[in-house]
Amino acid sequence: MLELQRSPSSRVFHTVYPGSMVRVVQSFSEDMDLLERALPSNMAPTASEKIQFVLGKKTFRDIVQRLQERKSSVITLLGIIGR
């Protein structure tokens, strides 16, 4: 557990658990792997690959949404620790 002060003149302390940061980064990495698998594997996909991508659009959208949430979490954590 880390206790950090936002600025030298601040009297408010924030507690950041390193485990929280690790979990966010691990989840981000897992979602990036899922995103890589959701995208067509080559730059000139076949018709069937294009159809599979369109049919899997909801999955793709869900992964992107989770990545946005993870990004917000990282920004919040970095703001708390003053980086």
Residue-wise pLDDT for 1-37, tens only, equals 444 444 555 454 555 567 777 888 888 889 989 888 8
Instruction: Tell me if residue 67 falls in helix, strand or coil.
Output: helix
Alpha-carbon distance of 48 to 68, in angstroms, equals: 29
Q: Is the dihedral of CA 21, 23, 24, 30 positive or negative?
A: positive
Q: Residue ranges per domain, the chain?
A: 2-81
pLDDT band at 67 (very low <50, low <70, confident <90, very high): very high
pTM beyond cutoff 0.95: no
Q: Which of 1, 79, 67 minimizes the C-alpha distance to 33?
A: 67
